[in-house]
Amino acid sequence: MSYPIEIILNRQLAECLAIPVFITDTVGNLLFYNEPAEDILGKRYEDTGEMPVEVWGTIFKSKDESGKLLDPEELPLVKTLLNQLPYFKTFWIESLQGTTEKISVSSYPIIGRAGIFHGAVAIFWRQADE
Amino acid sequence: MKIALRGVRGSIPTFNPATQVYGGNTSCIEIEKHGWLLVLDAGSGITNLNFNESQRFQRIDILLTHLHMDHIQGLVFYEPFFDATKEVHIWGPVNPTQTLRARLGRYFAPPFSPVYFRDLTCDLHIHEIGNSSFQIGPFAIESRFVIHPGPTVGFRIHADNKVVTYIPDHEPALGRGPLHHNLKWVSGSELALDTDLLIHDGQYTRDEYKFKVGWGHSAMEDALEFASITGTKRLILTHHDPIHTDSNLDQCYKNLKITTHYSFPYEMAVEGTVIEM
């Protein structure tokens, strides 16, 4: 069974972009990430394929500016999946290798023409440290 | 079932001495079985339907892939709309902002037409579809949104243990080089999977497509690849570009035969062709 074209078109756009893009289904399973996003995950889509939410959700830790772990419910993509609305937040991520990076994340729901919620997109913007 | 190609030209009717072989009427396909009539799209080719023949049908179902002009311009001229004894059903893609009736109503009104919807005397029914499954008489039909500007669906029609797939306006390779070979990521693949007959967009040559990316149509080579990866058993390339003359299309076909190697049979759609399945 093929994905809805709204998901397919988001991937085809993501493949043309130089900014990191993650595409999930309605429960957060990672369906696709583009080449710039591979840098952030430290993994290649060609190697991993799709990833269940419980796997890719543990690849990096999300922290606030004081270094405190963020609750998942504070993260834009999680909020988008819960509420089917767009969100934005700047925070820090720590990879499994221990490197920390400041990022901003914009997320939006994929709601198709028939009004059906198909999934979500998260776009990561790398921020220079102030 | 009987499948008749009534209009195979894309974009605009194109009648001149150089288009007499392949035909100049815009999209319309007729499918008949056991007294049930499906009309796929209502381009100018709908005027090729034999209205005396249509008298045999008390109910007629018109399935619209989308509402671009070359797919609806024949509607106003369809005689059964003006016959009070007829039951006519129009099926077309849902849109979040306006009903199908309201969008069709723009065409059934001045300045595009002297006729309003309210002037139609048939028993008219309008059905909005998206990723849908429905039954019309002996036909089990699936529709799916496909990649084309504006709400657009393709159809998979199952009857007599045969499957016909109709996707006349489709750009599955948009934004990519070659098509994905993972069918999950290919627009329209569910409709065409292992189909007996695929009638698919093949508007451009590869060179023409480079200048028409995002216009919603396929290079012929992409259509062939789409047919191959979906397991299509026979392909008909349709929606011929209005600038393609008969000799252009002959040459395109020869070029495809030289440059590609597919095991399934394929051909260019010719207006008036009738296929029994």
Q: Determine the residue among B187, B189, B230 to mutate to test chain A binding: the one whose Cβ has the most chain A Cβ atoms within 10 Å.
A: B187
Residue A12 to residue B174, Cβ atoms within 8 A:
yes
**Which residue numbers of B have CB closer than 8 Å to A's CBs?**
93-96, 130-131, 144-147, 151, 174-176, 183-190
- When pLDDT is averaged across residues A66-72 and rounded to a whole number, the result is 92
Q: Which of A6, A8, A114 sits opposite B185 (nearest CB)?
A: A8
Q: Is A1 on the interface with B (CB under 8 A)?
A: yes
Q: Which of B140, B139, B200, B204 is nearest to B166 (CA)?
A: B200
- When pLDDT is averaged across residues B209-235 and rounded to a whole number, the result is 97
Predicted confidence band of residue A129 (pLDDT cuts 50, 70, 90): low
Is pLDDT of A78 > 70? yes
- When pLDDT is averaged across residues B94-122 and rounded to a whole number, the result is 93
What was the pLDDT predicted at A36?
94
Peptide bond into B111 cis (omega under 30): yes
Residue B145 to residue A16, Cβ atoms within 8 A:
no
Q: In what order do the strands lie in the sheet with A30-33?
A: A30-33, A21-24, A117-126, A100-111, A87-95, A60-63
Q: Is A3 on the interface with B (CB under 8 A)?
A: yes
CA–CA gap between residue A13 and residue A7 (Å, rounded): 10
- Chain A residue with the nearest C-alpha to that of B175: A12
Model ipTM value: 0.84
Contact B41, B63 (CB under 8 A): yes
What was the pLDDT predicted at B222?
97
Between positions 93 and 122 of A, the ones with CB within 8 A of B are: 112-116
- 3-state secondary structure at position B114: coil
The two three-digit tokens of residue B87, written as one number: 């039951």
Burial class for A123, CB neighbours closer than 10 Å (0-12, 13-18, 19+): buried
CA–CA gap between residue A104 and residue A94 (Å, rounded): 14
Contacts of A11 in chain B (CB under 8 A): 185
Residue B145 to residue A3, Cβ atoms within 8 A:
no
Residue A113 to residue B176, Cβ atoms within 8 A:
no
Rounded to a whole number, what is the distance in Å from the CA of A105 to chain B's nearest CA?
24
Residue B147 to residue A5, Cβ atoms within 8 A:
yes
Residue B176 to residue A12, Cβ atoms within 8 A:
yes
- Residue span of the structural domain in which B45 resides: 2-276
What was the pLDDT predicted at A80?
97
- When pLDDT is averaged across residues B17-25 and rounded to a whole number, the result is 98
Structural domain count of chain B: 1
Map out the domains of chain A with their CATH numbers. 5-126 (3.30.450.20)
What was the pLDDT predicted at A57?
83
Q: What is the pLDDT of residues B55-105, one digit of tens each?
A: 789 999 999 999 999 999 999 999 999 999 999 999 999 998 899 999 999
Note the Cα B12 to chain centre separation in Å.
14
Note the Cα A90 to chain centre separation in Å.
13
Residue B147 to residue A15, Cβ atoms within 8 A:
no
Contacts of A118 in chain B (CB under 8 A): none
Q: Which of A64-78, B15-29, B168-182 has the highest mean pLDDT?
A: B15-29
**How many CB pairs below 8 Å do chains A and B form together?**
53
Contacts of A2 in chain B (CB under 8 A): 144, 183-190
Q: Which of A2, A12, A113 sits opposite B189 (nearest CB)?
A: A2
Rounded to a whole number, what is the distance in Å from the CA of A122 to chain B's nearest CA?
19
What was the pLDDT predicted at B54?
67
Predicted confidence band of residue A70 (pLDDT cuts 50, 70, 90): very high
Q: Which of A10-14, A38-42, A91-95 has the highest mean pLDDT?
A: A10-14
Note the Cα B186 to chain centre separation in Å.
19
Contacts of B130 in chain A (CB under 8 A): 112-114, 116
Question: Could you tell me where the beta strands, DSSP code E, fall in chain B?
Answer: 2-7, 28-33, 36-40, 59-63, 87-93, 123-129, 132-136, 139-145, 153-159, 162-167, 197-201, 235-238, 266-268, 274-276
Question: Could you tell me the CATH number of the domain that includes residue B61?
Answer: 3.60.15.10
- When pLDDT is averaged across residues A109-125 and rounded to a whole number, the result is 94
Residue B93 to residue A2, Cβ atoms within 8 A:
no
